[in-house]
Amino acid sequence: MDVQEPLEQFESEPQEPVEESQVPTVDSVRQEETAQETKPVQSVEEEAGMDLSTTESESASTPRLEVDSASRGEAPAQTSTEPAWYVIHCYSGYENKVRHNLEQRIETMGMKDRIFDVVIPTQDEVEVRDGKRRTVERHIFPGYVLVNLILSEESWYVVRNTPGVTGFVGMGNQPTPLRPEEVSQIVKRMEAEAPTIKVTFKVGERVRIVDGPFNDFRGTVSEIDMERTKVRVMVSFFGRETPVELDFLQVEKS
């Protein structure tokens, strides 16, 4: 996929029409926000209504990418004339809120000709819990949002100062665009027909068989086959360990 092609449009909440005379410009908004630059960076999260005590614990499981820690008013040294996909960071669990905030700013600040798309990469995942299977939508990169834009001082400013955005992924204050092959890989995961399987047990753990001829037997997981959605459990029969192959739905953590 060419990096210039936007990903499939996500539906956004309908916006009320804004009279042309009331549409703010990047310069006017910057003047208002400049007065707030003396606030600590934490104010960004406060504007978004985020509970830092909750999100800090979640950040431990978030992929560690280098995010700019520069002042909110410091623009990148290098810009571009071609659209590319960039990655912005936010607190895990607030991706939808950040996307909504950014889409509103793009609309009201007249930046549709510079910022083209805002995407949260997701994929369907089958979760097996308590012997029941359910399909849920999972974020591929918790705490990260993709933005397709032409990098300029104005577009950077609109994105970087969106409530909930903590920074661009890049070196220092210079955002790094995704390579075309990286974008293709993300799109491929999003468009995968077969959902991924998530199980609550792993090799070496004790499980209980909940279905089939070995119902209520307990054993140790020796192998997990994600492609076939099968698990091999070592069950004790008359003092001997015997391997039994079962479907994911037939076992649960003991």
Interior/surface letters 242-253, b for 16+ CB within 10 angstroms, e for the rest:
eebebebebbbe
HSE of 202, CA atoms in CB hemisphere, 13 A: 0
Q: What pLDDT, in 10s, does the model give residues 83-125?
A: 999 999 998 899 999 999 999 999 999 999 999 999 999 988 8
- pLDDT score for 218: 92
Ranges in the chain annotated CATH 3.30.70.940 = 20-196
Does CATH place domain 20-196 in 3.40.1710.10?
no
- pLDDT score for 232: 94
- What CATH code is assigned to 199-253? 2.30.30.30
Ranges in the chain annotated CATH 2.30.30.30 = 199-253
Q: What pLDDT, in 10s, does the model give residues 197-252?
A: 777 888 999 998 888 888 889 999 999 988 888 999 999 888 889 999 998 888 88
